[in-house]
Structure formats: C-alpha cells, structure tokens
C-alpha cells in the first residue's frame, strides 16, 4: 500500500523500530523561547548531529514551519537553510517573529537517513 507523505517523516517518538537508532543524530533540536511577545523578534536555532558533512553523507538542509493557532490553513513555511557538505555544519540560527501562539516544526534531511522532524510550542504573551 502506498503511504501518505506524512508517514514518511520520522520523529523520535514515532520512528519505526528499524530506523530509531538514527533519531539521536538526525532529529533536529530546536532552541527557542517558551514564550515570546507578539511581533517581537526572537532567535530560533536548529541543530542536527553530531553528523558527518561530506558529499556522500550530510544533512543537506533544514526547514522551518509554523502551525499558527486559529489559522484556516496550516502550516506556514517560514524558512529553509541549505548546508554545503564539507563547508557547513548542520546548525543554523534564524530571527523569527510571530503574532499568534502555535507550534514550530523543524525538518532535517540526511541524504542517507531520510527526513526527520521535531516540534516546539511557542506561547505568545
């Protein structure tokens, strides 16, 4: 049976048994405040690894999406960073701002070990 795309995205908690061993080094780690002020800039760091950075095996990119509470259609695609193998480590810091609370999703892609996600709730005061 052909699966929907969503079932192909691994996360630490629902990765199939046979790929779970890669969660620690592939699931992105999100660093962001628990609570932010509406419209005020805050830093978001996404880190993956430790992981090799070679043409044959690297974290090619990370993407950020935001599920915004109360929005009719979600998620919002908010950013992407590409890392050239050999010259970049898989870590990036963005400067973000939101008007409403929601959930921030990070995706990381390894050319050998697939697509991994993690998520973090953002409260707005």
- What residues line the site for a copy of itself (CB under 8 A)? 2-9, 11, 14, 18-19, 22, 41, 55-56, 60, 65-67, 72-84, 87-89, 91-98, 103, 105, 107, 109-115, 117, 119, 121
- Rounded Cα distance, 96 and 2, in Å: 36
Window 104-123: contact mask with Fe ion (x via CB under 5 A): ------x-xx----------
- Rounded Cα distance, 65 and 71, in Å: 13
Nearer to a copy of itself among residue 44 and residue 125 (C-beta): 44
The least distance separating a copy of itself from the CB of residue 86, rounded to whole angstroms, comes to 8
Paired with 10 in beta bridges are: 116
Closest CA to 65 of 9, 2, 113: 9
Residue 108 interacting partner from Fe ion, a copy of itself, none (CB closer than 5 to 8 Å by kind): none
3-state secondary structure of 21: helix
Closest CA to 109 of 48, 66, 54, 67: 48
Residue 91 interacting partner from a copy of itself, Fe ion, none (CB closer than 5 to 8 Å by kind): a copy of itself
| Residue 118 near residue 44 (C-beta atoms within 8 A) | no
The least distance separating Fe ion from the CB of residue 36, rounded to whole angstroms, comes to 26
* Site residues for Fe ion per CB under 5 A: 110, 112-113
């Amino acid at each position: 049976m052909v699966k929907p795309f969503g079932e192909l995205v691994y996360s630490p908690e629902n990765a199939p048994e046979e790929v779970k061993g890669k969660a620690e080094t592939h699931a992105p780690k999100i660093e962001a405040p628990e609570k932010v002020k509406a419209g005020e800039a805050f830093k978001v760091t996404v880190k993956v690894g430790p992981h090799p950075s070679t043409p044959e095996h690297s974290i090619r990119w990370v993407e950020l999406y935001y599920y915004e509470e109360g929005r009719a259609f979600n998620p919002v695609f908010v950013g992407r960073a590409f890392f050239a193998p050999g010259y970049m480590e898989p870590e990036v810091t963005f400067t973000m701002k939101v008007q409403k609370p929601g959930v921030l999703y990070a995706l990381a892609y390894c050319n050998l070990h697939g697509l991994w996600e993690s998520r973090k709730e953002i409260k707005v005061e």
